[in-house]
Structure 1
Amino acid sequence: MLRVELRDRIAVLTLDRPGQLNALGSGTMDELTRALGDIHDNDDVRALVVTGAGRAFSAGADLGEIESFTAPGQFRDFVGRLTEAFALLEDFPKPSVAAVHGFAFGGGLELALACDLRVVERGARLGLPEMKLGVLPGAGGTQRLPRLIPPAIAKQLILTGEPIDAERAWELGLVNELAEPGDALKAAEALATRLAAGAPLALAAGKRLVDHGLGMGLETAIAYERETVSVLFCTEDRAEGLKAFRERRPGDFRGV
C-alpha cells in the first residue's frame, strides 16, 4: 500500500492503491509511520517525495473502512492514526515534497499539507469535500490550510467543500511549483534533489525555525533564530560550506 524507493539521497514514498484512488486507510498510515521511522536515521536519505500511483494523488480517507465502524470511538481512533502520521511527516527533520497529480481530496490534501513543499500538475484539483458528507476535515485540514493561505479563502474551501484547481492554488501560495501534466513527480524529484544538496543540520534547523517560530512573538523568534545559527556556526558543515564557496564548488555536507 506504500512503496518506498531510494533514489540518490531521496526517498520516494508512493501511495500504491491505484484501484482505490490511493484512499488512506489504517494500513497505509501504519506503513507511512514505519517508513518514516526507517528513514529517520538513514544518512543516505536527505529529502522525501510523497506521491501517488495511478491517476490521482489521493482521494482521501478510505470510506470503505470508515463505513465499517460501528462506534464513534473507532472513527476517533482512525482519525488519530491519520493525524499522528501526518504530524510525524510535518515534524520530520528532512524536507518533504508532495508531488500531486489528478486530485488530492480530503485526507489526501491533508497529507500534502503536512509536507513542506508542494509540486502540483496543471489541471489537478485540490479540496476538502468533507462538508458535503456532513462532517469536516479531521486530520489537520482546518488548521494547516489557514496557516498557508488567507483564512477567509480557507474557510470558503472548508465550508463549501468545493475544490480549486492547481493554478488557483498556486496563485494563493499553496503550491510551490506548477508542473506540466505528467511531470509532477519529475519536478518534485528535481526540487528534492536541490534540497538534498543542502547541509542536513541546517535543513532540519530551517524547518524548525519556520514551523516553531510562527507560534512565537517576533522578538522571541528572532532570538531563537540567533541561537540556532550560532550552533550551526560550530559545525563542520559550516566550515565545509565556506571552503566550497571559496573554491567555487558544491559543498560536500555530511551532517556534522
Structure 2
Amino acid sequence: MDCTNGYVRVDASDDVAEIILDGETDLNTIDLPMSEDFAEAVAHVERGDYRAAIIRGADGTYCAGGDLSQDPEAFVKTVDVSIDAIIDIHRSGTPYIAAMEDVAVGGGLEIALGCDLRVAETRTTFALPEASRGIIPPAGAIRFLAQMIGSARARELLLTGRSFSAEEAAEWGLIVESAEDALASATELAETLTAQSPASITAVTKSLNEAYPAPISSAKWDLELARTLASGEDFEEGRQAFFEDRDPDF
C-alpha cells in the first residue's frame, strides 16, 4: 500500500507488515506530508490482523529526523502528527520492530524508541542533536531514554547532543542487536514474535506500558515546550547554522 503523499508505503507478507520510510530527501528527513503518510501507515497496520510490524527506511537509510527547512508552524504540526502515531505504536498490541541503517537521528530515532524492539546495522550513527538547534526532541525521546537507559545517560545524550554508535547503543540496551544486516535481523525477530501467543504479547505490552508513572502520552507536554522554542530566536539561529554548516551563536 502506498500512502497518500507517496513518502511511506506498507508491504505485507503473511503475518508481518513493513512500514517503509521513503522521503523526498536521501536521508528520509520528516516533513509534514511524510509525517501524515507515517500516521496513515500506522493506522493501516493497526486495522490489519498482523502479528508483527517492522519500520525501516528505503534504500539502506533509516531516518535523519525532522526537516529543518520547514517554517516553525509546519515543524510543530509535523511533530504533533508524529507523536500521535508514535503513541499508537507504543500502545499497540502488535509488536513493532525498528530496523535502523546508516542514520537514526532526532525524530527518526524517536520513532524507533516508540517501538517494542530495535536492531541496527553495525555502522549506524545515532544522535539527538536538538539542543544544538535551539529545540528539544519533542516526540517522546526524553521520556523513552530515561526509562530505557537511565536518567544519567539520557541527560548526557540529550544535553550534549553527541553522536553515538550501534556498539554503544547495544551496550546500554537501547537496541537488542547490532547486526551486519538490520532488516534480516528484524525479520528473524518478527518471525519469532509471530510464533508467540498474540494474547500474551498484548498482555506483556500492556503491563510494560503501565510500569512507569509518566506514560508516553504525556510527551504532548514536550510538544508545548517545542512550540514555544520553535518560535524563538535560538531555533532560528540553530536552523541557519545547520544549513550554513557552522557552529550556532546562541
Whether TM exceeds 0.5 here: the answer is yes
Is 2:123 the partner of 1:123?
Answer: yes
Give the conservation status (yes or no) of the 8 Å contact 2:32–2:75. Answer: no
* Bigger shift: residues 102-111 or 27-36: 27-36
Q: Within 5 Å, which residues of 2 pair with 1:35-54?
A: 35-43=41-49, 45-54=50-59
Q: Which residue of 2 aligns with 1:200?
A: 198
Secondary structure of residue in 1 paired with 2:79? helix
In 1, Cα distance between equivalents of 2:184 and 2:13: 12
In 2, Cα distance between equivalents of 1:18 and 1:27: 10
Superposed CA offset, 1:112-158 (max 9, x none): 10111001111211110111112211111111111110211111110
Q: Which residue of 1 aligns with 2:185?
A: 187
Count of aligned positions:
208
Give the conservation status (yes or no) of the 8 Å contact 1:103–1:125. Answer: yes
Percent identity at matched positions?
A: 35
* Bigger shift: residues 205-214 or 17-26: 17-26
Q: Which residue of 2 aligns with 1:104?
A: 104
* Bigger shift: residues 196-205 or 96-105: 196-205
Superposed CA offset, 1:26-54 (max 9, x none): 222222222222222322x1100000012
Q: Shift of residue 189 of structure 1?
A: 0.7
RMSD between aligned alpha carbons?
A: 1.6
Residue identity opposite 1:132 in structure 2: S
In 1, Cα distance between equivalents of 2:171 and 2:192: 23
Residue identity opposite 2:55 in structure 1: V
In 2, Cα distance between equivalents of 1:58 and 1:147: 22
Give the conservation status (yes or no) of the 8 Å contact 1:18–1:53. Answer: no
Q: Shift of residue 18 of structure 1?
A: 6.5
Q: Shift of residue 78 of structure 1?
A: 2.9
> What are the ranges of 5 or more consecutive residues in structure 1 without an aligned counterpart?
217-256
Give the conservation status (yes or no) of the 8 Å contact 2:106–2:128. Answer: yes
Is 2:12 the partner of 1:14?
Answer: no
Superposed CA offset, 1:212-231 (max 9, x none): 12339xxxxxxxxxxxxxxx
Q: Which residue of 1 aligns with 2:87?
A: 87
Secondary structure of residue in 2 paired with 1:20? coil
Q: Shift of residue 17 of structure 1?
A: 2.0
Is 2:61 the partner of 1:63?
Answer: no
Q: Shift of residue 89 of structure 1?
A: 1.3
Superposed CA offset, 1:143-181 (max 9, x none): 11111102111111100110110001100010111111x
Decide which structure has the larger Cα Rg and report it. 1
Give the conservation status (yes or no) of the 8 Å contact 1:18–1:54. Answer: no
Give the conservation status (yes or no) of the 8 Å contact 1:21–1:55. Answer: no
Residue identity opposite 2:42 in structure 1: L
Superposed CA offset, 1:177-197 (max 9, x none): 1111xx100110110111111
Secondary structure of residue in 2 paired with 1:213? coil
In 1, Cα distance between equivalents of 2:76 and 2:55: 25
In 1, Cα distance between equivalents of 2:79 and 2:160: 21
In 2, Cα distance between equivalents of 1:75 and 1:105: 16
Is 2:138 the partner of 1:138?
Answer: yes
TM-score by length of 1: 0.77
Give the conservation status (yes or no) of the 8 Å contact 1:98–1:112. Answer: yes
In 2, Cα distance between equivalents of 1:40 and 1:134: 35
Q: Within 5 Å, which residues of 2 pair with 1:236-255?
A: none
In 2, Cα distance between equivalents of 1:199 and 1:184: 25
In 1, Cα distance between equivalents of 2:207 and 2:8: 30
Secondary structure of residue in 2 paired with 1:136? coil
In 2, Cα distance between equivalents of 1:172 and 1:12: 26
In 2, Cα distance between equivalents of 1:27 and 1:18: 10
